[in-house]
C-alpha cells in the first residue's frame, strides 16, 4: 500500500495511540490526485453500509477538491444557474431513455 491521504490531525491522534507509520505532507502536484483517490475510497465506504456519517466524510473530500480546483468559486456561478434552471434532486424525479424516440412522437 502506498501513501494514503488522511485528515489533517490524524498523525497526532495515531501517534498518541501508538500507531506506526511514516507521515509527510503531499506535494502540490500530489494533492488533487490524492483527493480524487480519497473520493473513491469514501464513496466505497458509503456504498458498503449506506452510513450517513460516510456521506459527511465524502462531503469533506468534495469540498476540499472544490477548494483546490475552483479557489475563486467561478464554477459556482454556472452551477447556480444550472440548479435554477433544472432544479436539484429533492423531488426524486427519475428518467429512462427510449432509444430512437423523441418527445411528442410515438
Whole-angstrom distance between the N-terminal and C-terminal Cα of the chain?
Answer: 55
Distance of CA 50 to the CA centre of its chain: 15
Give me the pLDDT at residue 27, please.
92
Residues in the chain, pLDDT under 50: none
Q: CA-CA distance, 94 to 104, in Å (whole number)? A: 19
The sign one gets for the Cα dihedral 89, 63, 29, 15 is: negative
Give me the pLDDT at residue 103, please.
73
The predicted model scores a pTM of 0.79
Amino acid at each position: 500500500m502506498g501513501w494514503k491521504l488522511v485528515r489533517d490531525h490524524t498523525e497526532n491522534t495515531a501517534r498518541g495511540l501508538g500507531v506506526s507509520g511514516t507521515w509527510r505532507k503531499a506535494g502540490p502536484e500530489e494533492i488533487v490526485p490524492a483527493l480524487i483517490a480519497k473520493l473513491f475510497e469514501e464513496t466505497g465506504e458509503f456504498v458498503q453500509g449506506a452510513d450517513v456519517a460516510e456521506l459527511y466524510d465524502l462531503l469533506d473530500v468534495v469540498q476540499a477538491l472544490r477548494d483546490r480546483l475552483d479557489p475563486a468559486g467561478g464554477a459556482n456561478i454556472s452551477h447556480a444557474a444550472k440548479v435554477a434552471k433544472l432544479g436539484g434532486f429533492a423531488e426524486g424525479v427519475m428518467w429512462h431513455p427510449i432509444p430512437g424516440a423523441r418527445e411528442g412522437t410515438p
